[in-house]
Structure 1
C-alpha cells in the first residue's frame, strides 16, 4: 500500500474553542500531522520561519493583524484554508488563491472536503481523504448508504457508541442534549450545535433551536410539526423554510 507523506498543519485562530474543533478534526485524519497552534498572526509567522508547514488553517478576523492581511505578507505561503464565521469574506479569500474556506461552526464532513481539495494537485498520488475517508465529492452519499456509521457521546462516565441509523431525534436540555434512539435515550453534557456539527446534513435536519431530527425517521409533517414515532417535534419559524425545502 502506498504510504502517504504526512501533511504538516498549523492552526491560527485567536479563539481557543475554534482551535479545539480544528485540532480534533486534524487528529481524526491519520495523514494530517499537527505541528502547532497559534493565537495570532505574529506567533504564526515565527512558526513558519522555523519549520516547514504544508497546510495552514487560518482565521480571518483576529486582533492586531487579520488573516487576509497576514497572508498577503507571506512571500511563499503554504496552502491555506480560511476558517471564519463571516461568509462575506469568502470572495476576498479566493482572490488570495486560498484552497477553501470553512464557515464556523465547522462540520467534519466539510472539513474533509476542504482538506481533500488541498491535496488535489498531487496528481502522482491519491489524495489522503480518499484513503482515510470517502472521496470528498461522494462523502455525503456514502454516509447515507452506510449502515455502520456511528458517533460517540460521553455518558455515564464513558464514551458510548451510537449508530446513526438508530437515532430518531435529538433534543436540547439547556447544558445537556438527549439523544433519542430506537434502543433508548442517552443524555450527554454537550451543546446541540456541537452535536449538529457531528452529523451529516443529508441524514439530519435542525428543525428548531432545540431539536434535530433524522430525516428518514419522519412519519409525517405539517408546517409546524414533525411526527417521529409518538413524538411531535416543533418546526421553529427561523428553520421552517429550510426544513420544508428539504422535506419537499
Structure 2
C-alpha cells in the first residue's frame, strides 16, 4: 500500500526521537517532517498534504490543541501527552487517539493501525471512475454522474469533498489525496491543501488569488504559484 505521510510536533527533542524511531519500524509510515514548534508545523500543514500528525498537547506559546483547532482540513491527529486528563480535550478537537508518555511501541502501533483503517475507509467506495471523461459519486443516497469537464473545483471539507459544477454542487465522503489520482493534469491542478481546480475554470489571477468563472476566489499556496502560472502559459 501507499505509505502514509506523517509529521511530528513536540517541543521535547527526546520525545520526537522516540516517535521517529517508532515510525521507522512501521513499513506503511513515512516521516515527512519533525517540528519543535507547533506554529511552524501549522505553516507546513497549510501547504502540504499529510495523513497523520503526532502532536504533543502541552507546548509553549501554541499548544497542540490550538494547532488542531487552527486546521481547516485536519489530517488524522494522534495526540501525545504526559497527562491523561488532557485526553478528553484532545478528543473534543477531533483527535483520533492519544498516547500517554512514555509511549510504548505496542500502544503506538495500535493507534496507527486504527488511523490506517480509517484513512483506507475514507478513500474507498465514494467516487467511482467509469472512464476517462466521467465519474460517479455517492451523494444523497444515490450515484450521480459527473462529467470531468463540468467540474469547476473540488473542495475538501473535513471528511467530505464538495464537487462544484456548472449549475450546482454535490458532497461525498472522500479525500483530496485520493481525488488527485482521478483529477489530473493537464485538466486539473491542486493549488493548495483544500482545493483542486479545473484550469479551464480560471477567469483571472491577482498575485496569489485566483478568481474562477463562477466568481469563487481561491488562494494558491506559495509553493504552487509558479507551477500554476506555467500551466496557464503565463511567464
TM-score (norm 1): 0.48
Provide the residue aligned with 1:179 in structure 2.
Answer: none
Query: 2:5, 2:45 → 1: CA distance?
Result: 11
Is 1:82 the counterpart of 2:71 in the alignment?
no
Matches within 5 A, 1:66-215: 66-121=63-118, 122-123=120-121
Query: 2:43, 2:91 → 1: CA distance?
Result: 25
Query: 1:90, 1:27 → 2: CA distance?
Result: 26
After TM superposition, the runs of 4+ consecutive aligned structure 1 residues lying more than 6 A away are none
Query: 2:63, 2:79 → 1: CA distance?
Result: 11
Query: 1:33, 1:23 → 2: CA distance?
Result: 10
1:28–1:87: structure 2 CA closer, same or farther, 3 Å change rule? same
Provide the residue aligned with 1:25 in structure 2.
Answer: 22
Query: 1:19, 1:27 → 2: CA distance?
Result: 13
Higher relative contact order (CA 8 A, sep 6+): 2
C-alpha deviation, 1:124, in angstroms = 8.6
Provide the residue aligned with 2:35 in structure 1.
Answer: 38
Q: Which whole-Å deviations, capped at 9, do the CAs of 1:17-68 have from their partners, x for residues lacking one?
A: 0000000000011110000100011110121123211000010000111111
Provide the residue aligned with 1:63 in structure 2.
Answer: 60
How many residue pairs match? The answer is: 123
> Which one has the bigger strand percentage?
2
Query: 1:41, 1:124 → 2: CA distance?
Result: 26
1:25–1:92: structure 2 CA closer, same or farther, 3 Å change rule? same
C-alpha deviation, 1:97, in angstroms = 1.8
TM-score (norm 2): 0.50
Query: 1:34, 1:56 → 2: CA distance?
Result: 10
1:15 to 8, 12, 15: 12
Q: Which whole-Å deviations, capped at 9, do the CAs of 1:92-121 have from their partners, x for residues lacking one?
A: 111122110000000000000000111222
Query: 1:100, 1:11 → 2: CA distance?
Result: 15
1:16–1:51: structure 2 CA closer, same or farther, 3 Å change rule? same
Query: 1:50, 1:27 → 2: CA distance?
Result: 24
Query: 1:73, 1:49 → 2: CA distance?
Result: 10
Q: Which whole-Å deviations, capped at 9, do the CAs of 1:190-227 have from their partners, x for residues lacking one?
A: xxxxxxxxxxxxxxxxxxxxxxxxxxxxxxxxxxxxxx
